Amino acid sequence: MATMKHTLVAIVQDKPGVLNRMASLFRRRGFNIESIAVGHSEVAYLSRVTIIVNGSNAMVEQVRKQLDKLIDVVRVSDITGDNITVRELALVKVKATSQARGEIIEIADIFRANIVDVASDSLTIEITGDEDKIESMLKLLKGFGIKEIARTGRVAMVRGTLGGVPGEVKTAGKRVKKQS
Amino acid sequence: MKKTGAQIICESMIAEGVGVMFGFPGGVLLPFYDTLPQYPQIRHILVRHEQGAAHAADGYARATGKVGVCMATSGPGATNLVTGIANAYLDSVPMVAMTGQVARSFIGKDAFQEIDITGITLPITKHSYIAKDAGSLAGIIKEAFYLARTGRPGPVLIDLPKDVQTEQADYTYPEKVELPGYKVPTRGHPTQLKNAAKLINEAKRPLIIAGRGVIISRASDELKQLAETGQIPIITTLLGIGSFPENHVLSYGMAGMHGTGCANKAIDSTDLLIAVGMRFDDRVTGKIAGFAPNAKIIHVDLDPAEIGKNVGVNVPIVGDVKAVLQALNKMVETGEHIDWIKQLDEWLKQHPLGDVNDSAGLLPQYIIHQLYEATKGDAITVTGVGQHQMWAAQYYLHKEPGSFITSGGLGTMGFGLPAAMGAKVGCPDKTVWCIDGDGSLQMTIQELATLVQDNIAVKIAVLNNGYLGMVRQWQDLFYEKRYVATPISCPDFVKVAEAYRIPGLRVTRREDVTGAIEQAMAYDGPFLIDFMVEPEENVFPMVPPGASNIEFIEQPKKEVSTWPR
């Protein structure tokens, strides 16, 4: 079966162990996580997890359903086919002799990346974009010698008015908060 | 009003209607056990090994439909529960397992008898909790019981640090739970229901395969109505046994690896398979490519993740089996299917189960048949795992939901005795027979002591063949009779029973079977019969591993063997 990268977005309770439960499920069912990014959502007690998983439609649908069964997972959707905005952030430390520095800064400018640190023999560049953009810049920087890369993994959001935490969940969650 | 954590645990259990729990104490559970006598409403049954507590809670839950409760101390106590929890998880049994934990300040320090039990049980629980303070206990217990019994049932674990049990907190039992991430589907999608009814009304050779979901959802009446109205033959999975009376004219037995020839042929030729509350386990489907090759499939299940997991379906219906069947019954027309039913009856005649009177020796099948006759099919039978389990499934005709209790998904040897104990505690007015193998029984035989101490009148029939019989059968059929590590020496089970103060009998001859069974049933208390059966009897029919269901092997002509010992 044809496999492709799927983008899953999960809204989960901000409780200890939630990520462990999700990761354990991926491991148990034999799914490979390409990247996972976790952070707060627009609701204080809910986190948003963006997971990139490579697999066939049927396989990814199975993992989505299994994730949805976790009690702490409020909602999970596969937004691969939707009209989405996708971003990833990378920090790249490049070897930069004084001669090469100008050229590297020029490349960074083309990609609208920022220089966030300068040392005597290196430059650190911060770049935001989709994976293709980051890969293209890395390709150009490779010749200078890349010392270190840190990438966040993909975060994604559906364009337009759709998406976000459903209203009933926001209020239900609030009641839970009050009780504890 | 302020109460200690231990008191809150007890009061919460009582609020959930818990009347009995199976447990084993330990250092970190001392505060709880010290408090327990304040609540005589809770009957505590002391097991001899924590695995027994989990299986007993499991058997209790399957026999009663209520949530089974078990408890073990931290560390080894908790890890001993693991097999029982996994067993309940795979068979969707409602259970709350409570474990003691070291005091909060010791957690994460590798303290004495500290183990990360929530971590260990992560993939085998529906959910789990660590109680971080006494104030959270009531809410946690409320949620745990709610999660265990609703939706697709399963085990929920609560880890209870020692000092949380002694900490004081205000106690009020919450009236409802707020679980925004937990959805229980109820009725099926109207369009899919309509599609299903249309297919059912149009089918020429419809077939229902019923699983444990029917029993969980208490939907046997609705299932019967569907079958009778549409004149649709029914086969079941192993765990679906009891969902439909096996003496009903539309019942055609169990499907799958040791299913009837008729059931497996029916799957092969049906044009519409109506799968209700079952999950297409590999022991049921055989080789997927050869499964129901001529059929459209309607799959009714509460768990959306089961739809399309193993087998592609034409009409998926996610919903509670009872509600879905009620809706379908309104739309399904009176059917006939005379030729189809005639065909199935013919297959029944062509492929009968092996004759219980086929040998002058002591056939295990004959014993199960006699148990059925003696109990008029009204007993609860509980099995271990192996050949005896399959013979019990084949030769005892079960009529009621919850009357056949067996370890299906995990296939846990040693399940029988403790589960029978739990079933008998849950249904004291029922006759409970533990049908066990000599291998299986030896895995949890220590629970004989529990039967005596708590006067639990389980009757035990050991089908003793001196082998780990099912594994030996595979060695016989697929490994050229190389019986490696399957001959098993047994103690004298009658003497063992006697040592536990349980009366017992040994039966070596066919003509002594009925007398022994009568004697066991007449005795007021637990009783054990050690049946020395034909040692190399095999379970047939059998679908060879990896083959399609239709390729089942039948019982070869018998050579009478003599008892070798």
Using one digit for the tens of pLDDT, what is the confidence trace for A110-127?
999 999 999 999 999 999
- pLDDT at B498 exceeding the cut of 50: yes
In a domain, B65, yes or no: yes
SS3 string of chain A?
A: CCCEEEEEEEEEECCCCHHHHHHHHHHHCCCCEEEEEEEECCCCCEEEEEEEEEECHHHHHHHHHHHHHCCCEEEEEECCCCCEEEEEEEEEEEECCHHHHHHHHHHHHHCCCEEEEECCCEEEEEEEECHHHHHHHHHHHHHHCEEEEEECCCEEEECCCCCCCCHHHHHHHHHHHHHC
Q: Are residues B340 and B485 in the same domain?
A: no
pLDDT at B565: 40
Closest-CA residue in chain B for A27? B123
Residue-wise pLDDT for B245-303, tens only, equals 999 999 999 999 999 999 999 999 999 999 999 999 999 999 999 999 999 999 999 99
pLDDT band at B556 (very low <50, low <70, confident <90, very high): confident
Taking the C-alpha atoms of residue B34 and residue A141, their distance in angstroms, rounded to an integer, is 69
Quick check: A74 and B180 CB within 8 A?
yes
Q: How many domains does chain B have?
A: 3
At residue A32, the pLDDT reads: 85
**A contact test, residue of B146, B182, B279 with most A CBs within 10 A:** B182
B172-209 confidence digits (pLDDT tens): 999 999 999 998 988 899 999 999 999 999 999 999 99
Question: Is A69 in contact with B303 (Cβ distance < 8 A)?
Answer: yes
C-alpha B360: how far from its chain's center?
A: 33
What average pLDDT does the segment A169-175 reach? 55
Does B249 contact A at CB distance below 8 Å?
no
Say if residue B404 is in the same domain as residue B490: yes
Q: What is the mean pLDDT of chain B?
A: 96
pLDDT at residue A167 tops 80? no
Q: How far apart are CA B430 and CA B423, in angstroms?
A: 9
Q: Is B519 on the interface with A (CB under 8 A)?
A: no
Q: What is the mean pLDDT of chain A?
A: 90
Longest dimension (CA), chain A: 63
B119 and B196 housed in the same domain: no
Q: How far is B127 from chain A (nearest CA, A)?
A: 7
Name the minimum distance, in Å, from the CA of B147 to any CA of chain A. Answer: 9
Inter-chain CB proximity B308 and A58 less than 8 Å: yes
Backbone angles phi, psi at B30, to 5 degrees: -55, -45
Q: Looking at per-residue confidence, does A81 or B37 come out higher?
A: B37
Q: Are A73 and B181 a contacting pair at CB < 8 A? A: yes
- Phi/psi-derived region of residue A160, left when phi > 0, alpha when psi is between -120 and 50, beta in every other case: left
A21 neighbourhood in chain B, CB within 8 Å: 122
Instruction: Name the residue type at position A166.
Output: P
B179, B301, B306, B307, best to mutate vs chain A, most A CBs in 10 Å: B179
For residues B310 and B342, state if they share a domain: yes
Q: Say if B499 falls within a structural domain.
A: yes
Mean pLDDT of all residues in B351-372: 94
Report whether A84 contacts A158 (CB < 8 A).
yes
Beta carbons of B305 and A175 less than 8 Å apart: no
Q: Is B65 on the interface with A (CB under 8 A)?
A: no
Given a cut of 70, whether residue B324 has pLDDT beyond it is yes
**Which one, of B320, B94, B316, B311, lies nearest residue B213 by Cα?**
B320
Res B358: pLDDT: 85
Same domain, B151 and B253: no
Alpha helix segments (H runs only) across B396-525: 416-426, 438-441, 448-453, 469-478, 493-499, 513-522
Whether A180 and B136 lie within 8 Å, measured CB to CB = yes
CB contact under 8 A, A75 and B181: yes
A chain contacts of residue B309, beta-carbon cutoff 8 Å:
62
Instruction: Tell me the nearest-neighbour CA distance from B101 into chain A, angstroms.
Output: 17
Nearest CA in chain B to A171: B180
Cα–Cα distance between B409 and B386 in angstroms, integer?
Answer: 13
Closest to A62 (Cβ–Cβ): which among B118, B182, B309?
A: B309
Measured in angstroms, the CA of B284 and the nearest CA of chain A are apart by 21
Is residue B250 situated within a structural domain? yes
Work out the pLDDT band at B1, boundaries 50, 70, 90: confident
Same domain assignment for residues B222 and B328: yes
B411 and B477 in a single domain? The answer is: yes
**Among the residues of B91-136, which ranges form H helices?**
117-120
Asked if residue B67 belongs to a domain, the reply is yes
Residue B545 in any domain: the answer is no
Report yes or no: B215 and B186 within 8 Å, Cβ to Cβ: no
Q: Give yes or no: residues B160 and B22 share one domain.
A: yes
CA distances from B136 to B9, B127, B139, B170, B416 (A): 11, 16, 6, 10, 36
Domain that holds residue B484: 364-539
How many CB atoms are located within 10 Å of the residue A24 CB? Answer: 15
B161 and B46 housed in the same domain: yes
Which CATH number does the domain housing residue B498 bear?
Answer: 3.40.50.970
What are the pLDDT digits (tens) for B428-450? Answer: 999 999 999 999 999 999 999 99
Q: How does residue B520 score in pLDDT terms, banded at 50, 70 and 90? A: very high
Mutation choice for B interface testing from A18, A46, A64, A65 by most B CBs within 10 A: A65
The shortest C-alpha distance from B220 to chain A (Å) reads: 26
What tokens were used for B295? 């059929």
Q: Which of the four pLDDT bands, split at 50, 70 and 90, describes residue A170?
A: low
Measured distance CA(A165)–CA(A10) in Å, rounded: 10
Q: Which residue of A has its CA nearest to B173?
A: A179
- Per-residue pLDDT, averaged over A74-94, amounts to 95
Angle formed at CA B92 by CA B185 and CA B443, multiple of 5 degrees: 175
Q: Can you tell me whether residue B523 is helix, strand or coil?
A: coil
Residues B374 and B337 in one domain: no
Q: Looking at the DSSP assignment, which residues form a beta bridge with residue A12?
A: A47, A73
pLDDT digits 0-9 by tens, B381-421 = 999 999 999 999 999 999 999 999 999 999 999 999 999 99
Q: Is some CB atom of chain A closer than 8 A to the CB atom of B310?
A: no
Summarised one tens digit per residue, pLDDT across range A6-46 is 999 999 999 989 999 999 999 888 888 999 999 999 999 99
In a domain, B137, yes or no: yes
Complete domains list, chain A, with CATH: 4-82 (3.30.70.260), 85-155 (3.30.70.1150)
B310 occurs within a structural domain: yes
Residue A165: per-residue pLDDT:
73
